[in-house]
Structure 1
């Protein structure tokens, strides 16, 4: 299953809860810091996502250790998600950890897009090296296609653009070029690390003692 628009938020929630259980308010702050960098984040989209994750058994609710406050702590039914600071702690279940690993292995075109790439990148420390490299290379390929399209369009319309629009086009072009250079550096680093890891594995295997068959 590809990580679509809703899957990006799912990945962000599961990845955040993988680090530590969080109160609803803390989770909202963390997601806003994470997703806000890459796309417009709507709190209204968070609540349906949390309800679906709860229904699917991927996350669970638990009251605070002090039992919470008011009558909500005495009820077996969790209070509805609201804009107030929630006293309910959300934590990842075993099924949620499996789903997170599934999402982290997906390196198809959807993970190269603007709103998905940043979230995948934020959890690269949990992602296998081979998957990280595929995502980085895919993102670079997508941006190189975008660069070609922008350069072609700019060459065709340069004479018809006013100076401000032309500067805006150039600014966008330079931003994409900077990201491509950044991706090139990351890809080179990932490849160097992969080469070192293979060399270390080969060295470790060559250092293993050879069984003595004379005593058999």
Structure 2
């Protein structure tokens, strides 16, 4: 549970690093960041905000009175900025965990290249281990399960393989100082001139 709180803290501090926001806007932005699989409720957000207020990481900068109901606007403190930087610089198994990696990745633009590389390599290594384990299980259980269960396992393997390829592209781009292949401009086909 402590790890989930730290992940929420990193996400909130990172968003407030961009500028002050009220709770509703934070929740909306966090849900976009977390994706459709992990929707954040107000019941999870507000206790985290209260804890960060008590810790002095964020502060109440007044109320937003532009809507029907006034909303408390939160902003980052110096202590919150320092904690955000500390969380971004941490490298270890929690940095490439399933629950943490997406949030860390969302703030890679503010993360040192060496740290980005270590996090990407750690995530790739974790997924390669998972892939080996799942492939062994798939081979062993294909004869024991029906075709739908086997298809679901195969789909899981393909998802992990796709993420490993994506991570490898990102790692190579980081090392070469270039954009990942998926973000680079399309290259002209052989025999065609650009433009």
Say yes or no: TM over 0.5. Answer: yes
Distance 1:56 1:129 in 2: 29
Q: CA deviation at 1:19?
A: 0.4
Query: Structure 1 stretches (4+) deviating beyond 6 angstroms?
Result: none
Q: CA deviation at 1:158?
A: 1.1
Is 2:33 the counterpart of 1:49? no
Please, which runs of 5 or more residues in structure 2 have no aligned partner?
Answer: 179-195
State the partner residue of 1:20.
19
Distance 1:28 1:85 in 2: 16
Q: Mark the CA change 1:92 to 1:102 in structure 2 (over 3 Å): closer, same or farther.
A: same
State the partner residue of 1:88.
72
Alpha carbons 1:60, 1:93 under 8 Å: kept? yes
State the partner residue of 2:174.
190
Q: CA deviation at 1:157?
A: 1.0
For residues 107-122 of structure 1, the aligned pairs below 5 Å read 107-122=91-106
Is 2:115 the counterpart of 1:131? yes
Alpha carbons 2:128, 2:164 under 8 Å: kept? yes
Please, which runs of 5 or more residues in structure 1 have no aligned partner?
Answer: 70-83, 195-216
Distance 1:115 1:9 in 2: 10
Aligned length: 176
| Structure with greater contact order relative to length (CA < 8 Å, sep ≥ 6) | 1
* Cα deviation code 1:24-71 (max 9, x no counterpart): 211111111112346343331111110010001100002247xx48xx
State the partner residue of 1:206.
none
Alpha carbons 1:158, 1:166 under 8 Å: kept? yes
Q: Mark the CA change 1:121 to 1:38 in structure 2 (over 3 Å): closer, same or farther.
A: farther
Is 2:165 the counterpart of 1:181? yes
Q: Mark the CA change 1:36 to 1:85 in structure 2 (over 3 Å): closer, same or farther.
A: farther
Between stretches 104-113 and 37-46, larger displacement belongs to 37-46
Which structure has the greater CA radius of gyration?
1
Q: What is the TM-score when the length of structure 1 is the normalising length?
A: 0.77
Q: CA deviation at 1:132?
A: 0.3
Distance 2:147 2:27 in 1: 42
Give RMSD over aligned pairs. 1.9
Distance 1:48 1:185 in 2: 38
Distance 2:13 2:36 in 1: 18
